[in-house]
């Protein structure tokens, strides 16, 4: 399983509490909630502190400090409100910190004697530097909490670019106060150097110590959706940083050159002053560029390693997804094969059930003793035969046959002999009927034969043939006596138009009674 990416460098979908820039909209103040009052109070206190520190800095002379580092001399301008504004920008968003920076710088410009119009423009200097910092952190998605070497190096680099951008205010100050080239150079150098060092030495420790707690408090009341790193804007942030560095180099040399050229006289001491100014400018550029180069190289290395790690993680995720897809495909294939097997088994079971149902239907329509169809089957088939006779306009012959003296056979010889007699009679009857005839055991010792399109001649031929077959049959019992077999029959011929199923059966039954009354062993045709 891939390891989670560290939270000090670029990462996707990271929370605000890890220090990734996510601006809190001022509209949250309109949404209500008790947490907005501490936020408003904190901002107002920060504004009051910034205004007070700005006045104190102006009238206390906290600007233009000369710092000597060996043979290198710097002019530093200290501006405490910048620290407060930077912390608000990083922790809550650009609008919160830039408003503090603008109001404070505007007030300082007014109190220092700038015209209100120039003071309004002058107030944009520090918000411009903070804008560069906010845009870079928003697009590059690096944690601004200096809790690792990589995050600290990036913070140092962006603080330098932000200081260069905010130093544009020094040109307004120099122009309005009609400073010389040397004065303008010193004001510009003091502005960017002071802003840079002040941001690094004050904001970095405060963010390290108190940043996580402030962000957790913010996230508890205003949770932010995880945002995706926008790598397509990284090049823009890189170009902005590069432009800031180039602007620093150009301004350093141009302003230093103008300052040297503005020095009056040509005495040896004056040339020495010029040489020292060139040297100090070159050394300051050298040390600043050395620090920046180290920071950018280190950051670039961490950026590339992190991107490589992310690419490996993405490849691992793709491999896991591929394996999961293959496993699911195999599972689906196994399930499909199992389903096909179940379908085959189900089809076999269906055929088996249909066969059993056919057997049940056959058994339900068969007489178990004689093997002939039963009365239920007759009532299923007779309507169709009657309808066909009506459509084809031919008569339907119905014969109802009854074994004579069958009760005496059961009484004298037992039911086993009676069953044998019924099976014998059914066998002899089935042997002489035509394939299209319908023969059923009607009930007890009665059998019914339906012959489509049969006439009296066929009946006159079939019944004597059946009696002769019975006479030639020898059925012996345990006592050795032969059981005489004879039958009587009732015949009716349906007209095919007016007769119904019940009419035909009643007519055949009536004719059978006539044959019984005539002395049995004979047959009669129904006469209306």
Q: What's the pTM?
A: 0.52
Structure tokens given for 397: 């012959």
- Collapsing DSSP to helix, strand or coil, 132 comes out as helix
pLDDT classification of 273: cutoffs 50, 70, 90: low
Of the two residues 95 and 359, the one the predictor is more confident about is 95
Q: What is the pLDDT of residue 282?
A: 60
Q: What is the pLDDT of residue 284?
A: 57
Q: Among 54-58, 60-64, 90-94, 202-206, which is the least confidently predicted range?
A: 60-64
Percent of the chain with pLDDT over 90: 32
Of 3-12, 230-239, 408-417, the range with the highest mean pLDDT is 408-417
- Collapsing DSSP to helix, strand or coil, 11 comes out as coil
d(CA 430, CA 440): 10
Of the two residues 300 and 213, the one the predictor is more confident about is 213
Q: 79 and 199 in contact (C-beta within 8 Å)?
A: no
Of the two residues 105 and 263, the one the predictor is more confident about is 105
| Beta-bridge partner residues of 113 | none
Q: What is the pLDDT of residue 528?
A: 77
Q: Which of 288, 305, 296 is nearest to 154 (CA)?
A: 296
Percent of the chain with pLDDT over 70: 76
Q: 526 and 438 in contact (C-beta within 8 Å)?
A: no
Q: What is the pLDDT of residue 79?
A: 87
Structure tokens given for 441: 């055991």
Residue 8 has pLDDT above 60, yes or no: no
Q: What is the pLDDT of residue 71?
A: 47
| Beta-bridge partner residues of 478 | none
Query: Where in the chain is CATH 3.30.70.270?
Result: 373-525
Of the two residues 158 and 250, the one the predictor is more confident about is 158
Q: What is the mean pLDDT of residues 102-110?
A: 92
Q: What is the pLDDT of residue 256?
A: 52
d(CA 2, CA 411): 97
Pairing of strands 487-494, 523-525: parallel
d(CA 520, CA 488): 5
Q: Among 47-51, 118-122, 178-182, 307-311, which is the least confidently predicted range?
A: 178-182
Q: How far is CA 299 from the centre of its chain?
A: 37
Q: What is the mean pLDDT of residues 296-321?
A: 78
Residue 102 has pLDDT above 90, yes or no: yes
d(CA 344, CA 338): 10
d(CA 367, CA 423): 11
Q: Which residues contact 471 (CB under 8 A, 6 or more apart)?
A: 485
Q: CA 393, 397, 400: angle at the middle one, nearest 5?
A: 155
pLDDT in tens, 442-479: 989 999 999 988 889 999 999 999 999 888 877 777 76
Residue 439 has pLDDT above 90, yes or no: yes
Dihedral angle computed from the Cα positions of residues 140, 141, 146 and 152, in that order, rounded to the nearest 10 degrees: -20
Structure tokens given for 236: 């823009």
Q: 497 and 390 in contact (C-beta within 8 Å)?
A: yes
Q: Which residues contact 353 (CB under 8 A, 6 or more apart)?
A: none
d(CA 505, CA 492): 9
Q: Which of 376, 355, 382, 354 is nearest to 364 (CA)?
A: 376
Residue 275 has pLDDT above 80, yes or no: no
pLDDT classification of 91: cutoffs 50, 70, 90: very high
Q: How far is CA 498 from the centre of its chain?
A: 73
Residue 492 has pLDDT above 90, yes or no: yes
Residue 405 has pLDDT above 70, yes or no: yes
Residue 7 has pLDDT above 50, yes or no: no
Residue 82 has pLDDT above 60, yes or no: yes
Q: 166 and 50 in contact (C-beta within 8 Å)?
A: no
Burial code (b: 16+ CB inside 10 Å, e: under 16) for 14-42 equals bbbbebbbbebeeebeeeeeeeeeebeee
Structure tokens given for 167: 């130093």
| Beta-bridge partner residues of 401 | 447, 489
pLDDT classification of 177: cutoffs 50, 70, 90: confident
Q: 421 and 403 in contact (C-beta within 8 Å)?
A: yes
Q: What is the pLDDT of residue 249?
A: 54
Structure tokens given for 245: 């560095």
Q: What is the pLDDT of residue 387?
A: 87
Count Cβ atoms below 10 Å from residue 357 Cβ, excluding itself. Answer: 10
Q: What is the pLDDT of residue 50?
A: 93
Residue 311 has pLDDT above 90, yes or no: no
pLDDT averaged over the chain? 80
Dihedral (CA of 112, 117, 120, 122) sign: negative
pLDDT in tens, 237-262: 556 555 655 655 555 555 555 555 55
Q: What is the pLDDT of residue 93?
A: 92
Residue 267 has pLDDT above 60, yes or no: no
Report the CATH fold assignment for 373-525. Answer: Alpha-Beta Plaits (3.30.70)
Of the two residues 230 and 507, the one the predictor is more confident about is 507
Q: What is the mean pLDDT of residues 16-24?
A: 80
pLDDT in tens, 314-350: 899 999 999 999 999 999 999 999 999 999 999 999 9
Residue 499 has pLDDT above 80, yes or no: no
- Collapsing DSSP to helix, strand or coil, 399 comes out as strand
Q: 107 and 51 in contact (C-beta within 8 Å)?
A: yes
Of the two residues 215 and 282, the one the predictor is more confident about is 215
């Amino acid at each position: 399983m891939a390891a989670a990416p560290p939270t000090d460098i670029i990462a996707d979908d990271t929370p605000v509490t890890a220090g990734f820039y996510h601006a809190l909209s001022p509209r949250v103040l309109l949404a209500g909630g008790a947490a907005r009052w501490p936020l408003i109070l904190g901002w107002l206190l920060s504004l009051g502190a910034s205004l007070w520190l700005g006045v104190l800095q102006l009238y206390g002379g906290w600007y233009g400090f000369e710092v000597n580092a060996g043979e290198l001399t710097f002019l530093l301008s200290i501006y405490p409100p910048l620290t407060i504004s930077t912390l608000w920008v990083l922790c809550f968003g650009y609008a919160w910190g830039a408003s503090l920076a603008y109001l404070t710088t505007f007030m300082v410009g007014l109190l220092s004697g700038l015209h209100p119009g120039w003071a309004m423009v002058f107030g944009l200097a520090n918000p411009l530097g903070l804008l560069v910092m906010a845009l870079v952190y928003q697009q590059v998605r690096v944690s601004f909490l200096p809790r690792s070497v990589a995050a600290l190096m990036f913070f140092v680099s962006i603080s330098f670019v932000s200081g260069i951008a905010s130093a544009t205010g020094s040109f307004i100050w120099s122009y309005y106060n009609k400073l010389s080239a040397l004065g303008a150079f010193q004001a510009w150098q003091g502005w960017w150097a002071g802003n840079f060092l002040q941001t690094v030495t004050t904001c970095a420790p405060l963010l390290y110590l108190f940043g996580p707690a402030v962000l957790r408090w913010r996230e508890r009341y205003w949770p932010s959706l995880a945002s995706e790193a926008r790598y397509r804007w990284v090049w823009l942030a890189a170009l902005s940083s590069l432009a800031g560095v180039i602007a620093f180099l150009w301004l350093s040399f141009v302003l230093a050159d103008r300052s040297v050229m503005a020095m009056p006289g040509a005495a040896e001491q004056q040339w020495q002053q010029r040489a020292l100014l060139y040297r100090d400018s070159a050394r300051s550029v050298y040390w600043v560029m050395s620090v920046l180069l180290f920071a950018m190289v280190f950051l670039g290395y961490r950026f590339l390693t992190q991107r490589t790690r992310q690419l490996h993680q993405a490849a691992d995720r793709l491999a896991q997804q591929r394996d999961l897809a293959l496993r699911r495909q195999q599972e689906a294939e196994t399930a499909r094969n199992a389903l096909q097997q179940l379908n085959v088994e189900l089809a076999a079971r269906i055929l088996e059930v249909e066969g059993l149902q056919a057997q049940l239907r056959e058994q339900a329509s068969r007489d178990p003793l004689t093997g002939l169809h039963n009365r239920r089957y007759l009532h299923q088939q007779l309507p169709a035969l009657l309808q066909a006779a009506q459509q084809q306009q031919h008569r339907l012959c119905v014969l109802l046959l009854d074994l004579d003296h069958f009760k005496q056979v059961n009484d004298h010889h037992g039911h086993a002999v009676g069953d044998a007699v019924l099976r014998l009679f059914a066998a002899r009857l089935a042997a002489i009927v035509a394939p299209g005839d319908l023969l059923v055991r009607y009930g007890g010792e009665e059998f019914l034969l339906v012959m489509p399109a049969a006439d009296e001649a066929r009946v006159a031929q079939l019944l004597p043939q059946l009696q002769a077959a019975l006479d030639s049959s020898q059925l012996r019992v345990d006592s050795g006596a032969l059981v005489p077999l004879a039958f009587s029959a009732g015949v009716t011929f349906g007209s095919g138009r007016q007769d119904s199923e019940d009419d035909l059966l009643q007519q055949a039954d009536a004719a059978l009674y006539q044959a019984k009354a005539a002395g049995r062993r004979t047959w009669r045709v129904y006469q209306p």
